[in-house]
Amino acid sequence: MMKFLKPMIVLLVSSAALGQQIPAPKEHFGFNIGDNYKLATYAQTEAYFQKLDLVSDRAIMQSIGKTEEGRDQFMMVVTSPANQLKLSSYKEISQKLARAEHLSEADAKKLAADGKAVVWIDGGLHATEVVGAHQLIEIAYQLCSRNDDETKYILDNVIVLIVHANPDGQELVSNWYMRNSDSTKRTTSFLPRLYEKYAGHDNNRDFYMMNLKETQNMGRQLYVEWIPQIMYNHHQTGPQGTVVAGPPFRDPFNYVFDPLVMTSLDAVGAAMINRLIQENKPGYTQRAGSPYSTWYNGGLRTTTYFHNMIGLLTEIIGSPTPSEIPVVPNRLIPSSANPYPITPRKWFFKNSIDYSVSLNYAVLMYAARHRDELLYNIYRMGKNSIERGSKDNWSLSPSKTSLIQEYFQKDQPQRPREENTTPESWGRNIANISKKYFDTVFKNPSHKDARAYILPSNQSDFSTATRFINALIRTGIEIHESTSDFSFNGKTYPAGSYIVQCNQAFRPHVLDMFEPQDHPNDFQYPGGPPVPPYDAAGWTLAFQMGVEFDRITESISGPFKKINIGELQPLKGKISINNEKGGYLINGANNHAFALVNTLMKKGIKVFRISEALNGFAKGSFYVPSSSAAALIVKGQAVDIGADVQSIDKKPADLMAIQPARIALWDTYGGSMPSGWMRWIFEQFKFDYNVIYAQEIDKGDLKNKYDIILFVEGAMPSLNPHARKPIGPKPEDTPEEFKKTIGYLSTESSILALKKFMEDGGTVLTIGNSTNLAYHLKLPVTNALVETVSGNQRNLPNEKFYIPGSVMQVTLDETQSNTWGMKKTADVYFDDSPVFNISPEAQTKGMIKPIAWFASDKTLRSGWAWGQSYLKNGIAAFDAQVGKGKLIAYGPEITFRAQTHGTFKLVFNQLYK
């Protein structure tokens, strides 16, 4: 819901008169934006924008939704008064051109000539990067108050969307910084909690999943409402020895988006660096001068590329506490990465604000000068996508080009080839390859791009598939639903199935959510170490969520109804109630069964699990005896919760009564992002839990309070006794409410307390590198990813084995209750994750049971897995007996960023007793 705060009468006042009334930031905040040792809170910022809304005929302030902590998240729409009167018309033009449907070339050019460029500028996403939120204040003030020719030209030709990306974070960080009366001691360090309620810094990794309210608010404006041609995402901090990193970015870029995205990005980047150089502002670095690329999908900036937008990022230095630009010798020589180096000097917050305003003006002037070109180009990219999705198409990718070289090599005389070389390197010295090898790949039907994807409504967890569809809908993807049963290629699909067609403007995003990412083999030099991707190499959301779909490579039509753009689909649990005297079965294959079960148990209703499949429901499904209280919840809430329920006429045999486990979730001072995501998951699926910190663990007596303790990535102490201990806040500088959260797990106290907890019958569940608890306990497990060199064992070097964030496939032991509701294999998120060998004796005696393992030498599903053959037969997860209790260890990130719904049950199955 949006609210317009400006009284319409203000529009009648001339801009010249209003120019005298625009309050300078100092009048409102008591200081200039950029003054040393001064930060504004969100409450102050919001009040200032409300003033601009009231007194400026150039600005309208809108609430785009509530934050996770309940604040209004604002967007300021700034343009000329004349444009403000036609805002809805210009928005419609932007939408039509971006979607590119049913528009002729002539129509598109006419709309481009009539429209205004739309530019998004945000700030504050990462709240400790304080330049971002404060440059928003300054640019809003300057656009509303300046009357120079450049500003008026911008306002006449551009609609500027000024968006605060994280209101809750600014309020927390600014209050934290300003709390010290001695300004020289002010710091943003040692924040007591995450600056976004659940995700902290990971709020910039949520933009294809759209879990968080702030992400959802911004996603609607970006992909449904405005669809800007340019978006500018302000961040910190720049690489050492520079001031700011920005576009153009380094390779690789993602091969699914339109080439116009990249060439346009380079053009705007050139305008940005040129502006700084014109103003004698050195220190901009680009391309290989920074780690940022355009490969990843999921960031506020990067998801825009898959929607044909020009996504800009700058990472700038600066803080209200003055700093120094250090001497970095290799940054002092001009190069294509650093055309105008900066020399060491004192640096002030005002410098960073001035640079940011200059960069904003560079972008806005580019948009003003190239207004019709930007509008036409987003149409052209959308039209290209529609055309590619409407016919047979073969996309270029590293694996396909490698196939060309492999086919060519097979026809050549045999000669030795060095080990661990890539197919790309085999053809490095080849001058010419016959086109027949190209055609072998790019005319092969098995390599064709998809034309559509069908998600059958009779899959085992259609509610999770619907969540996936809603993630697509939030990102502006067009979805169809079948209104009746239909058949295609000999397979019948039931009514209510979803169809995602690829002949739409945002086709790159569609492909990226369904298809494997094919990251190139990227090394510093042949045989050298890999170049890490920025964030992840693979993330295919359909795989992570365990969604069942059919990939269609031909044109498809049927009884399909188009869902309105941006219209979310309700979860629709399947309820079959006939003779209910025997009670109800709830299908454990559906994640949402757990939400319904938790709802029932909170009302005191008894719930059981069944150890065998029954009536088409999975092993480990739930049974609820018939009662009026149970019927009220099952019939009243199961559909909306998304659970699948059927009535039965008699009670099943071999039932296991369950109760909610007393759950403790580890966290630490300042907040753990993986723990924050786990909180989000627990709340979504209605699990009650307590958060536990090191101090409470060290006190012991854990079994009297908890049945299970969960440790996400990053919890356990290092195995190296000489490792540097983490530095925490001083208790005397910490507010009383947060003092109990200070401290880290230790080998001296915490490990012993956890061992006692398990020996007394408790369960500890560990994820990622927290599985090294097994080594602290000296269980008979070892690291599987090692080699022996000169009699010494060492971890495999990255030149031999390297898997950054990617999706891999594991095989599950279906006989265990740990895997109830799951299939024989599962896709897991793997990011340099632990892999184990288990002592044969421990397995034989049943002390340790493998839960999941890598069954072959090729288990990559999406991303980049160099040396993946080393994984074969390695254990990904195990269940170890420790006294009366147990340790559950999951090496892969099975709850990663609350995206991996396909592996949530590996946690959920542990949460009852």
Which residues fall within 8 angstroms of residue 865, CB to CB, at 6 or more apart? 803, 806, 808, 859, 871
707 domain residue, yes or no? yes
DSSP for 34-88? T-TT----HHHHHHHHHHHHHH-TTEEEEEEEE-TTSPEEEEEEE--HHHHHTHH
Nearest to 377 by CA among 308, 281, 432: 308
The answer to whether residues 450 and 515 touch, using CB atoms and an 8 Å cutoff, is yes
Statement to judge: residues 651 and 669 lie in one domain: no
**Tokens standing for 217?**
């608010």
Which residues fall within 8 angstroms of residue 417, CB to CB, at 6 or more apart? 426
State the DSSP code for 228.
Answer: -
pLDDT at position 14, please?
A: 46
Work out the burial of residue 346: count CB atoms within 10 Å of its CB; fewer than 13 is exposed, 13-18 middle, 19 or more buried.
exposed
User: Among residues 497, 528, 562, which one ends one of the domains?
Assistant: 562
**Tokens standing for 23?**
């309050």
pLDDT at position 251, please?
A: 95
**Tokens standing for 863?**
């991303």
Structural domain including 490 reads 449-562
pLDDT at position 541, please?
A: 99
The answer to whether residues 268 and 230 touch, using CB atoms and an 8 Å cutoff, is yes
pLDDT at position 387, please?
A: 98
403 domain residue, yes or no? no
pLDDT at position 428, please?
A: 52
The answer to whether residues 801 and 898 touch, using CB atoms and an 8 Å cutoff, is no
∠ Cα 675 866 209 (to 5°): 35
Statement to judge: residues 734 and 647 lie in one domain: no
Statement to judge: residues 252 and 329 lie in one domain: yes
Statement to judge: residues 611 and 736 lie in one domain: no
pLDDT at position 425, please?
A: 54
Which residues fall within 8 angstroms of residue 245, CB to CB, at 6 or more apart? 238, 239, 284, 285, 286, 289, 290, 292, 314, 315, 316
328 domain residue, yes or no? yes
64 domain residue, yes or no? yes
Nearest to 237 by CA among 311, 320, 318: 318
Statement to judge: residues 670 and 654 lie in one domain: no
Statement to judge: residues 247 and 335 lie in one domain: yes
DSSP for 505-557? TTHHHHHHHHSPPB----BSSTTS-B---SSBS---HHHHTT---EEE-S---
404 domain residue, yes or no? no
348 domain residue, yes or no? yes
The CA R_g of the chain, rounded to the nearest whole Å, is 29
859 domain residue, yes or no? yes
- Cis omega before residue 188 (within 30°)? no
Distances (CA, A) of 462 to 122, 221, 541, 546, 569: 36, 28, 15, 10, 12
pTM for the predicted model, two decimal places? 0.96
User: How many other CB atoms are found less than 10 A from the CB of residue 847?
Assistant: 16
Q: 645-672 burial string, b = 16+ CB within 10 Å, else e?
A: bbbbeeebeebeebebbbbbbbbbbbbb
Query: What is the number of residues in the chain?
Result: 913
pLDDT at position 10, please?
A: 42
Please state, in angstroms and rounded to a whole number, the distance separating the CA atoms of residues 718 and 732: 27
User: Among residues 562, 588, 617, which one ends one of the domains?
Assistant: 562
The answer to whether residues 84 and 11 touch, using CB atoms and an 8 Å cutoff, is yes
pLDDT at position 414, please?
A: 72
Please state, in angstroms and rounded to a whole number, the distance separating the CA atoms of residues 404 and 414: 17
- Cis omega before residue 252 (within 30°)? yes
Statement to judge: residues 536 and 616 lie in one domain: no
pLDDT along the chain (913 residues), means of 10: 43 44 97 99 98 98 99 99 98 99 97 99 99 99 98 99 99 98 96 99 98 99 99 98 98 96 98 99 98 97 99 99 97 97 98 99 99 99 98 95 91 65 53 88 95 98 99 99 98 98 99 98 95 97 99 98 98 93 97 99 98 95 97 97 97 95 99 99 99 98 98 95 87 95 96 98 99 98 96 95 99 98 99 97 95 99 98 98 98 99 99 97
CATH of the domain at 151: 3.40.630.10
pLDDT at position 422, please?
A: 56
Domain count of the chain? 4
Statement to judge: residues 769 and 881 lie in one domain: yes
Work out the burial of residue 844: count CB atoms within 10 Å of its CB; fewer than 13 is exposed, 13-18 middle, 19 or more buried.
exposed
Statement to judge: residues 598 and 719 lie in one domain: no
CA 456 remoteness from chain centre: 26
Distances (CA, A) of 411 to 405, 408, 433, 435, 436: 10, 5, 11, 14, 12
pLDDT at position 412, please?
A: 86
Please state, in angstroms and rounded to a whole number, the distance separating the CA atoms of residues 160 and 143: 9
248 domain residue, yes or no? yes
Statement to judge: residues 179 and 81 lie in one domain: yes
pLDDT at position 725, please?
A: 84
User: Among residues 640, 658, 676, which one ends one of the domains?
Assistant: 658
Please state, in angstroms and rounded to a whole number, the distance separating the CA atoms of residues 617 and 682: 24
Tens-place pLDDT, residues 638-671: 999 999 999 999 999 989 999 999 999 999 999 9
- Cis omega before residue 192 (within 30°)? no
Statement to judge: residues 383 and 272 lie in one domain: yes
CATH of the domain at 705: 3.40.50.880
Please state, in angstroms and rounded to a whole number, the distance separating the CA atoms of residues 53 and 34: 22
Statement to judge: residues 881 and 787 lie in one domain: yes
Work out the burial of residue 701: count CB atoms within 10 Å of its CB; fewer than 13 is exposed, 13-18 middle, 19 or more buried.
exposed
